[in-house]
């Protein structure tokens, strides 16, 4: 048994890289700094190591050949999931380019809310180290931060020392919308977060009201969605008085129509505060299991984030039209390739299409795909790179064990070669 330290996690999105893991053959045990997200993801035992074709064990070569056969002469294959590391995504895009496929990241419907806001008006954002050292006021809009990332507060807010704060325990935390599910947001000195609750569907009104107050507009209403205007005014005043406030949101949690407008309202609040002579930054949550990786690699390879169609011989981007789920449901696709190297519970939708799954070992199916090729997990079975949620930092993933499982990149490149 060996212990490997300073292990980065691709699972939580927040880039924890201080895990220690005991490796015993192919079994892993997180010994230090595990959490509800990372520990089970690292410790999940290897289930299957053999590819299957039509449910029967097959060699990797045979499975690759079958996958190539299913993709050959298709008119509109779709590649869903896109949950892998940088090299996996590189190979995925090469295969998509060759087959004229649609590429669609599994969490694009959530990421789209951010992308639409970005592509319409832009934003001012910050990254984790700035937050860790500067943030004196954190406003969390519509997200349960500690459920999203159990170690966020411990690692980035209640750090013992910050470069530019006398006492990190004095940071002020305000929740607007969802209440926190636990008490990680309570500072080590016992200072509790202020919580102003409303339903998700009221967030458009609440953020609009806050936006108006930031701009100095007078509101006639006394409350919005049960939150007193005076409370929102207090938030506005605090944002303006802070030295470096951060407004955090989680696009995945904003699951109502046109939530991109709420994201845009939040981003505009941040920009307006910066125009009023103090600093404020936005911070979007996201980036688990290769979300940012997919968007980043697709971004430099095609110019667009990871929902593109190569059918015409060049990448086309449409954040609505090329929804792989809808395309499969609507009969617009003629083959499905599902790539998910991190999470064996994230399975492809059921369909009658020829289906190839390149997935984490242990994936169970309601309907056996035509081809299943179990692959190694980046950061466990092979080295790689994954992007953190703040989109700037690519973490170097380590290989922890010799499982013999191929990487996503190896499998997808082999399929491409076999075409």
**Nearest to other proteins of 53, 339 (CB atom):** 339
1 versus 163: smaller Cβ distance to other proteins: 163
CA dist 189 → 23, 132, 165, 167, 224 (Å) = 37, 17, 15, 10, 32
CB of 133 to other proteins, least distance (A): 6
Rg (CA), the chain: 23
Binding of other proteins at residue 163 (CB under 8 A)? yes
Strand partners, 2: 23
3 is a site residue for other proteins (CB under 8 A): no
288 binds other proteins (CB under 8 A): no
Distances (CA, A) of 143 to 150, 177, 247: 13, 7, 11
CA distance 222 to 91: 56
How many residues of this chain bind other proteins (CB under 8 A)? 68
Which of the residues 31 through 70 are near other proteins (CB under 8 A)? none
Record the tokens describing residue 66, joined without a space.
């079958």
Give me the least distance between CB of 229 and other proteins, in Å please: 28
The 306-325 contact track toward other proteins, x by CB under 8 A, reads ----x-xxxxxx--------
Are 143 and 249 spatial neighbours (Cβ–Cβ below 8 Å)?
yes
Distance between CA atoms of residues 85 and 402, nearest Å: 18
Residue (155 or 347) nearer to other proteins, CB: 155
CB of 120 or CB of 237, closer to other proteins: 120
Among 262, 302, 361, 403, binds other proteins (CB under 8 A): 302
Q: In the complex, what is the shortest distance from the CB of residue 67 to other proteins, in angstroms, rounded to a whole number?
A: 21
Rounded to whole angstroms, how far apart are CA atoms 43 and 344? 13
Say if CB 88 and CB 409 are below 8 A apart: yes
CB 367 within 8 A of CB 108: no
In angstroms, what is the minimal distance from the CB of 380 to other proteins? 16
Instruction: Say whether residue 375 binds other proteins (CB under 8 A).
Output: no
Residue from 268, 301, 361, 377 in contact with other proteins (CB under 8 A):
301
Establish if 4 lies at the interface with other proteins (CB under 8 A): no
Contact between 72 and other proteins per CB under 8 A: no
Measure the CA–CA gap between 179 and 191, rounded to whole angstroms: 16
Q: Is 164 in the site for other proteins (CB under 8 A)?
A: yes
Is residue 20 at the binding interface for other proteins, with CB under 8 A as the rule? no
Q: How far apart are the first and last CA of the chain?
A: 42
Question: At its nearest, how many Å lie between other proteins and the CB of residue 242?
Answer: 11
Binding region for other proteins (CB under 8 A) out of 25-33, 176-184, 197-205, 386-394: 386-394
Chosen residue from 90, 178, 288, 401 binding other proteins by CB under 8 A: 90
List the one residue from 22, 49, 50, 133 that touches other proteins (CB under 8 A).
Answer: 133
DSSP calls for 213-279: HHTT-----SEETTEEHHHHHHHHHHHHH-SEEEEEEEGGG--STTHHHHHHHHHHHHHHHHTTTSE
Q: Does 304 bind other proteins (CB under 8 A)?
A: yes
Q: Is 385 in the site for other proteins (CB under 8 A)?
A: yes
Nearest by Cα to 79 from 381, 399, 362, 357: 357
Taking alpha carbons only, the member of 128, 161, 112 closest to residue 248 is 128
Residue 329 contacts other proteins per CB under 8 A: no
CA distance 151 to 12: 9
Residues numbered 204 to 263 that lie near other proteins (CB under 8 A) are 243-244
Interface residue list for other proteins (CB under 8 A) = 6, 8, 15, 17-18, 86-87, 90, 94, 97-98, 115, 118-130, 132-134, 155-156, 159-164, 243-244, 274, 277-279, 281, 295-297, 299-305, 310, 312-317, 383, 385, 391-396
């Amino acid at each position: 048994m060996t212990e490997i330290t300073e292990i980065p996690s691709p699972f939580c999105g927040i880039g924890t890289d201080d895990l220690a893991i005991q490796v015993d053959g192919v079994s892993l045990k997180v010994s230090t700094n595990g959490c509800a997200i990372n520990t089970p993801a690292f410790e999940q035992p290897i289930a299957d190591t053999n590819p299957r074709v039509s449910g029967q064990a097959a060699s990797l070569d045979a499975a690759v050949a079958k996958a190539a056969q299913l993709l050959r002469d298709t008119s509109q294959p779709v590649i869903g999931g896109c949950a892998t590391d940088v090299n996996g995504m590189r190979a995925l895009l090469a295969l998509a380019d060759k087959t004229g496929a649609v590429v669609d990241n599994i969490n694009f419907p959530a990421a789209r809310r951010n992308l639409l806001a970005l592509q319409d008006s832009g934003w001012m954002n910050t990254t984790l180290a700035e937050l860790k050292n500067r943030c004196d006021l954190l406003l969390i809009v519509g997200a349960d931060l500690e459920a999203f990332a159990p170690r966020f507060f411990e690692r980035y807010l209640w750090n013992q020392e910050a470069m530019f704060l006398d006492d990190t325990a004095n940071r002020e935390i305000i929740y607007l919308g969802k209440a926190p599910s636990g008490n990680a947001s309570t500072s080590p000195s016992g200072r509790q977060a202020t919580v102003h609750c409303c339903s998700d569907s009221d967030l458009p009104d609440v953020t609009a009201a806050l936006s108006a107050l930031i701009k100095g507009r007078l509101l006639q209403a006394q409350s919005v969605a049960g939150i007193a205007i005076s409370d929102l005014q207090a938030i506005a005043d605090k944002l303006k008085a802070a030295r470096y406030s951060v407004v955090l949101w989680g696009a995945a949690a904003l699951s109502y129509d046109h939530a991109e407008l709420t994201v845009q309202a939040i981003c505009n609040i941040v920009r307006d505060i910066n125009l009023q002579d103090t600093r404020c930054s936005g911070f979007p949550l996201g980036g688990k299991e290769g979300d940012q990786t997919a968007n980043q690699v697709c971004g430099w390879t095609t110019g667009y984030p990871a929902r593109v169609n190569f059918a015409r011989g060049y990448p086309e981007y449409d954040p609505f039209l090329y929804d792989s789920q809808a395309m499969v449901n609507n009969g617009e696709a003629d083959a499905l390739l599902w790539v998910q190297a991190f999470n064996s519970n994230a399975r492809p939708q059921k369909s009658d299409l020829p289906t190839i799954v390149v997935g984490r070992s242990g994936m169970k199916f309601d309907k056996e795909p035509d081809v299943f090729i179990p692959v190694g997990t980046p950061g466990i079975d092979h080295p790689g790179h994954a992007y953190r949620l703040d989109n700037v930092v690519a973490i170097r993933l380590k290989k922890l064990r010799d499982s013999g499982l191929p990487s996503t990149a190896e499998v997808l490149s082999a399929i491409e070669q076999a075409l």
